[in-house]
Amino acid sequence: MSSKVADNLSPENILTFPQNRPISLKQSEEADNVLIDVRSTKEFEEGSILNAVSIPLFDNTERSIIGTIYKHGSKEAAIEKGFAFVKEKFPQLIEQFEPYRNKTVTIYCAKGGMRSRSIVNLLHMLGMKVYQLEGGYRLYRHQTLERLNQFRGKMLVLHGMTGTGKTRIIEKLSDAIDLEGLAQHRSSLFGGVNLTPRTQKQFETLLARQLDQLGKPPYFIEGESNKLGQVFLPKSIIEEMAIGTMIKITASVETRIQRIIEDYPITSDEIRQKMESIFRTLTKRLGHATVDKLCELLQKDRIDELVYILLTEYYDKRYGNMYKKYTFSLEVSSENIDEAVKELTEYRSSLINT
């Protein structure tokens, strides 16, 4: 049947073929449909609906060509070009949908428009049970931002010098918002080392899901600025942190050094070179002599000495004065992470039961 469909592939019979009424994401999830994103790889990687499978109708180059024709030519010419691309690679495209032949699938594109509608109708013609997602990714994105903007909830904000293990604590706490984990960035000079930082859209999608999974407030969160790497925090989160209960996490310099060495392993020459480049950006603040010393220690693998200088000459001076302005409701030692988690959990319970 696929060869017969390919022979009759045209804008007229694909776009006008009878299709099921579009369904909402909630309806798709409740039916346990397979969610398939037919946007380009570039669009998908920038941001997608959670748990979606990527089967692009057009590759990045094809999408660019079609867009140019649409902008400088006509809608009709762009549609014709799109169908020419599809017809040329029809067997390979259909093959990607074969694993889902015996399942019900929901297809979405950017706006719930022609890309998803044409695939829905095409798969109908091939005998598959398939639906189009109402509103496409744009509606999902709008709902995600709306969810983030409406968030309200009392926060227990963990502050502390670099290396005190705030992120380790957050990872072990219930009803905690792990901003750095979601962003895949540690919110420091070396925050992206050994990680793959997420895009703004990816971060916001994951954050919205985590907020939906939270129980009763207050919620634990690590104190952050309004930005993690290249990712900006929602205004609602920043506002709730600003009026939250501040908790100070402490640890000895020796413990902090060891944790930083563990959290930032130097596993390749590429990482070593990246770290040296970062050190060079500190020349104005630390001076040439100190930066040269840091680079020398890095090359000689004297990492404990390197971290000590970074802590005492850069991080502690930068954040120490800021913390002097804060009023902390609780101070917790993190020499033992599990004990710190227990103390914080008991503190939260006391607030809920008050």
Q: For tokens 């999830």, name the residue.
A: 29
Please report the pLDDT score of residue 94 as a whole number.
Answer: 87
Please report the pLDDT score of residue 19 as a whole number.
Answer: 59
Task: Answer yes or no: are the C-beta atoms of 210 and 179 closer than 8 Å.
Answer: no
Distance CA 173, CA 265 (A): 25
> Hey, which residues does 36 pair with through a beta bridge?
53, 107
Domain ranges in the chain are 2-144, 151-353
CATH placement of domain 151-353: 3.40.50
Distance CA 51, CA 164 (A): 34
pTM of the predicted model as reported, rounded to 2 decimal places: 0.87
Task: Answer yes or no: are the C-beta atoms of 48 and 137 closer than 8 Å.
Answer: yes
Topology of domain 2-144 in CATH is Oxidized Rhodanese; domain 1 (3.40.250)
Distance CA 123, CA 100 (A): 11
Widest distance between CA atoms in the chain: 75
For residue 343 the two structure tokens come to 């103390």
For residue 267 the two structure tokens come to 């596993």
Q: How far is CA 18 from CA 2, 121, 337, in A?
A: 18, 7, 60
DSSP string for 162-208: TTS-HHHHHHHSSSEE-HHHHHT--SSTTTTTTS-PPPHHHHHHHHH
Same fold, 2-144 and 151-353: no
Q: Measuring CA to CA, which residue among 223, 297, 290, 219 is closest to residue 257?
A: 297
Distance CA 227, CA 234 (A): 9
Letter for the amino acid at 293? K
Letter for the amino acid at 41? T
Please report the pLDDT score of residue 289 as a whole number.
Answer: 95
Q: pLDDT of 274-285, one tens digit each?
A: 899 999 999 999
Q: pLDDT of 81-113, one tens digit each?
A: 877 777 778 888 889 999 999 999 999 999 988
Distance CA 120, CA 114 (A): 10
In the chain, the percentage of residues whose pLDDT exceeds 70 is: 94
A 10 A CB-CB count for 323 gives: 15
Sign of CA dihedral 17, 19, 25, 29: negative
Q: pLDDT of 34-77, one tens digit each?
A: 999 999 999 999 999 999 999 999 888 988 898 888 788 877 78
Spatial CB neighbours of 152, under 8 Å, sequence gap ≥ 6: 236, 240
Task: Answer yes or no: are the C-beta atoms of 97 and 8 closer than 8 Å.
Answer: no
Please report the pLDDT score of residue 1 as a whole number.
Answer: 46
DSSP string for 32-51: TPEEEE-S-HHHHHH---TT
- Spell out, as residue ranges, where the chain has pLDDT lower than 50: 1, 6
Distance CA 82, CA 166 (A): 51
Looking at the chain, list the stretches that DSSP marks H as alpha helix, in order from N- to C-terminal side.
2-7, 11-15, 25-30, 41-46, 60-72, 75-88, 90-97, 114-125, 136-149, 166-172, 179-183, 200-213, 235-242, 253-263, 269-280, 283-286, 288-299, 303-310, 316-324, 337-353
Please report the pLDDT score of residue 9 as a whole number.
Answer: 52
